[in-house]
C-alpha cells in the first residue's frame, strides 16, 4: 500500500498546477490533490480567507478520507498552511516538505504583495495571466479570489499566524526548500525557520525561481521522494 501524499497549492493557485508533479510521484505515493476554499472552482467559505480556514479545510479532508497520517508537500502559502496543521495536529503530519514558503510577514511585506493582486492592473498589464486565473478558478470569479487573498495578507501583516516560538514546538520532520532565484522569499527568513524547527532539513534548488510554472518538476519530484 502506497503512503499518502497531500499536495497543497499556493495563494491564488489551484491543484491543477500540480497534475504533472502528481503523475511523477504516483508510483511512490497515493497522491491527493487539494483545492483550498474558493480556489480551483471550489465554493467560497462564508468566512474570509485565512491560514486557519485553509488549515481547517485540510484537516476536514484528511479526517473525511480516513487518512491516519500524511506527508504534505506545500508550495508557497501551502507550506505555511501545512506548518500550522503540524503545530495544531502533529499526529496527522508524517512529514512536511515546503517550497518557496514565506514565513515572515509584517505590514510592509503584506503591502508589497497586495499591490501585485490588483485585478484591474492584471487585466491591463497581464491579460494572459488574467485569462489563466479566470480558467483556473471558474466558475468562481477570479477577481474575488484575489480580493479575498489581499484581505488575508493584510491580516497576516498585522498578526503573523505562526510566531517564531511556534516553530520550536513543531515535532514533525520538515524539509524546507527554497529556489536560488526566488525573489519573493528571502534566504534569511527561510534559514531562521529552519534553525527554529527541531527536526528540519534545508535544501536550495538550483536555477529555480518562485513561480511553480518555472520549477523543474523532475527535480522537485526527486526532492520530495528523497
DSSP string, 153-221: HHHHHHS-SS-HHHHHT--S-EEEEEETT-SSS-HHHHHHHHHHSSSEEEEEETT--SSGGGS-HHHHH
Phi, psi of 176, rounded to the nearest 5 degrees: -100, 120
Q: How far is CA 68 from CA 2, 25, 65, 93, 139, in A?
A: 13, 20, 9, 9, 33
* In the predicted structure, residue 217 carries a pLDDT above the cut 90: yes
What per-residue confidence (pLDDT) applies to 224? Answer: 95
pLDDT band at 169 (very low <50, low <70, confident <90, very high): very high
**Cα(39)–Cα(207) distance, rounded to whole angstroms?**
29
pLDDT band at 183 (very low <50, low <70, confident <90, very high): very high
pLDDT band at 67 (very low <50, low <70, confident <90, very high): very high
What per-residue confidence (pLDDT) applies to 210? Answer: 97
pLDDT band at 96 (very low <50, low <70, confident <90, very high): very high
Question: Which distant-in-sequence residues (6+ apart) come within 8 Å of 75 by Cβ?
Answer: 7, 8, 9, 10, 13, 18, 98, 99, 100, 101, 212
What per-residue confidence (pLDDT) applies to 188? Answer: 95
Instruction: Read off the pTM.
Output: 0.96
What per-residue confidence (pLDDT) applies to 49? Answer: 98
Q: What's the rounded mean pLDDT across residues 90-118?
A: 96
Q: In the chain, what are the domain boundaries?
A: 4-103+161-225
pLDDT above 70 as % of the chain: 100
Residue where the block lists cell 495544531: 88
Alpha helix (H) ranges present in 37-103?
51-64, 77-88
Q: Any idea which fold 4-103+161-225 has? A: Rossmann fold (3.40.50)
Return mean pLDDT, the chain.
97
What per-residue confidence (pLDDT) applies to 1? Answer: 85
Run of H or E including 34 = strand 30-34
Per-residue cell: 85: 496543521
Q: How many CB atoms lie within 10 A of CB 173?
A: 17
* In the predicted structure, residue 226 carries a pLDDT above the cut 90: no
Amino acid at each position: 500500500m502506497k503512503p499518502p501524499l497531500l499536495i497543497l497549492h499556493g495563494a491564488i493557485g489551484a491543484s491543477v498546477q500540480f497534475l504533472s508533479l502528481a503523475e511523477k510521484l504516483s508510483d511512490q505515493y497515493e497522491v491527493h490533490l487539494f483545492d483550498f476554499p474558493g480556489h480551483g472552482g471550489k465554493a467560497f467559505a462564508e468566512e474570509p480567507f485565512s491560514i486557519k480556514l485553509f488549515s481547517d479545510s485540510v484537516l476536514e479532508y484528511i479526517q473525511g478520507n480516513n487518512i491516519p497520517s500524511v506527508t504534505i508537500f506545500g508550495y508557497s502559502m501551502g507550506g505555511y498552511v501545512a506548518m500550522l496543521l503540524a503545530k495544531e495536529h502533529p499526529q496527522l503530519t508524517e512529514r512536511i516538505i515546503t517550497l518557496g514558503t514565506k514565513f515572515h510577514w509584517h505590514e510592509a511585506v503584506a503591502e508589497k504583495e497586495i499591490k501585485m493582486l490588483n485585478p484591474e492592473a492584471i487585466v491591463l498589464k497581464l491579460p494572459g495571466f488574467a485569462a489563466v486565473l479566470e480558467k483556473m478558478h471558474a466558475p468562481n470569479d477570479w477577481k474575488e479570489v484575489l480580493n479575498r487573498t489581499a484581505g488575508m495578507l493584510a491580516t497576516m501583516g498585522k498578526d503573523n499566524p505562526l510566531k517564531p516560538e511556534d516553530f520550536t514546538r513543531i515535532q514533525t520532520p520538515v524539509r524546507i526548500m527554497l529556489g536560488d532565484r526566488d525573489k519573493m522569499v528571502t534566504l534569511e527568513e527561510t534559514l531562521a525557520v529552519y534553525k527554529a524547527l527541531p527536526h528540519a532539513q534545508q535544501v536550495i534548488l538550483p536555477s529555480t525561481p518562485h513561480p511553480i510554472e518555472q520549477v523543474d518538476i523532475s527535480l522537485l519530484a526527486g526532492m520530495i521522494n528523497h
